[in-house]
Amino acid sequence: MTEIIDGNAVAAEIRDELTDAIETLADAGSRPGLATVLMGEDPASQTYVNMKQRDCEEVGIEGVHVEVDGDAPAEELFDAIDDLNADPDVHGYLVQSPVPDHIDYRDVIRRIDPGKDVDGFHPENVGRLVAGDARFRPCTPHGVQKLLESAGIELEGADVTIVGRSDIVGKPLANLLIQKAEDGNATVTICHSRTDDLAAKTRSADIVVAACGVPELIDGSMIGDDAVVIDVGVNRVDADNEKGYELVGDVEFESAKEKASAITPVPGGVGPMTRAMLLYNTVKAASIQEDVDVDL
């Protein structure tokens, strides 16, 4: 029987742990605060920030939302960032991407106080992660690690193939999984759009992580017997239903399930974990800034 790894259930466990940590902070007179910054009116981004704000409310994090006009000059966004850097009640924040075309997202990331960079994208935090001294693990890779741990998947010595080399998923995940640590010690192959014979590289892996943004690219014929499949992808494809679309992953679930020993569904796999790990990083940021020990 193939195990379906339930991201909603694991995320709920993490939220429970966070509730305890938030109580510890409250006993010390502090409440973690997370701000979301949205520049422009991209509907998908609006949905994402709304979800993040709702998540905050549910676990007892103080949510703050800042909107910047999509046509405003970069300075207006930078002023908002400077205000958040200076606000002692905001322990962490993120600027939702994509930002409008006249803004360079790298300038945005560099402006964020690294101690409040709960996405973990600031160059200082990227450097710390690569050096094995992560302050904030980026939310999606961290969520993938937690899912593997919850399913009891042995990483030490495992061959992992990651399909995708983005700065937010593929690269940080590879760095985490190769580290000399209990949740590392894997041997990692990173694939991308120029990789030769992708199927050979996924088929030989004990664990396949699909993060390429191509709907159902990885099918059962590309999965080795009893491999573990983690599907990071979230893609909207046209469907004959009320909404007119459905969400599918980067893995063709039904055929991959036939081969895999364990697999994550879409939705309900990595997605809820990404959201939970953002809350985790916020509580961690608060515990560091308030100098309160919490059990995380």
Binding stretches for ligand NDP (CB under 6 A): 140, 163-166, 168-170, 191-195, 198, 211-214, 217, 232-235, 250, 270-271, 274
Which listed residue (55, 113, 117, 119) is catalytic?
119
The tokens of 2 are what? 């193939």
The reply to whether 234 sits in an annotated binding site is yes
Catalytic residue chosen out of the listed positions 52, 146, 201, 284? 52
Amino acid at 263: I
Closer to ligand NDP by CB, 114 or 271: give it: 271
Q: Is the CB of residue 35 less than 8 Å from the CB of residue 296?
A: no
165 annotated as ligand-binding: yes
| Token code pair at residue 107 | 């300038």
Using the minimum distance from each CB to ligand NDP, give the nearer residue, 55 or 250. 250
204 is in an annotated binding site: no
Active-site residue among 55, 96, 231, 284?
96
Task: Output 274 or 289, the one with its CB closest to ligand NDP.
Answer: 274
Angstrom CA distances, 94 to 15, 108, 231, stand at 20, 10, 24
**Dist CA 61 CA 59 (whole Å):** 6
Query: What is the smallest separation between the CB atom of 193 and ligand NDP, expressed in angstroms?
Result: 3
Query: Is 96 annotated as catalytic?
Result: yes
54 known member of a binding site = no
Q: Output the smallest distance, CB 12 to ligand NDP, in A.
A: 16
Decide whether 64 or 214 has the Cβ nearer to ligand NDP.
214
Q: Please state, in angstroms and as integers, the Cα–Cα distance from residue 163 to each residue in 127, 193, 258, following that order.
A: 22, 9, 20
287-292 long-range contacts, CB within 8 A, separation 24+: 287/21, 287/25, 288/115, 288/135, 289/88, 289/91, 289/115, 290/25, 290/28, 290/30, 290/91, 292/24, 292/25, 292/28, 292/30
Other beta carbons less than 10 A from residue 131's beta carbon: 10
Contact 149, 212 (CB under 8 A): no
Closest CB to ligand NDP among residues 165, 257: 165
Give the rounded distance of the alpha carbon of 22 from its chain centre: 21
Annotated binding site for NADP(+): 164-166, 234
Binding-site members are 164-166, 234
- Catalytic positions are 52, 96, 119
